[in-house]
Amino acid sequence: LTPLPQKDGNGKLGLVEFNILWNRIRNYLSIFRKFDLDKSGSISSYELRLALEAAGYRLNKKLHELLITRYAEPDLALDFDNFVCCLVRLETMF
């Protein structure tokens, strides 16, 4: 993956930066839909592990649990918004 957009630090997304971001979000949506196995609009912690691996992140159990604690709802499911936040955080970490 390429770095997140906003390379010039001006606080605005130009057309090229927006295009990069838009393509990334479309990719996230594709992954999310593929692993939302029950088509509920959210993914379980198990589905999240599969989705993150498909996105290129093989995480140990502890880090996976931390992501669930941070981004999941009390029922341990993540909606698309939280899934995007999770992936953006992982991208900035790695």
Mean pLDDT of the chain: 90
Give the model confidence (pLDDT) of 37-84 as tens digits. 889 999 999 999 999 999 999 999 999 999 999 999 999 999 999 999
Locate 80 and state its tokens.
């698309």
Look at residue 17 and tell me whether its pLDDT is greater than 70. yes
The pLDDT of residue 94 is 85
Instruction: Identify the DSSP state of 5.
Output: S
The pLDDT of residue 10 is 76
Sorted by sequence, the CB contacts under 8 Å of residue 88 that are 6+ apart come out as 4
Q: Are 80 and 60 in contact (CB under 8 A)?
A: no
Q: Are 32 and 80 in contact (CB under 8 A)?
A: yes
Q: Domains, the chain, ranges and CATH? A: 15-93 (1.10.238.10)
Locate 72 and state its tokens.
């999941």
Whose CA is closest to 76, among 53, 50, 46, 38? 46
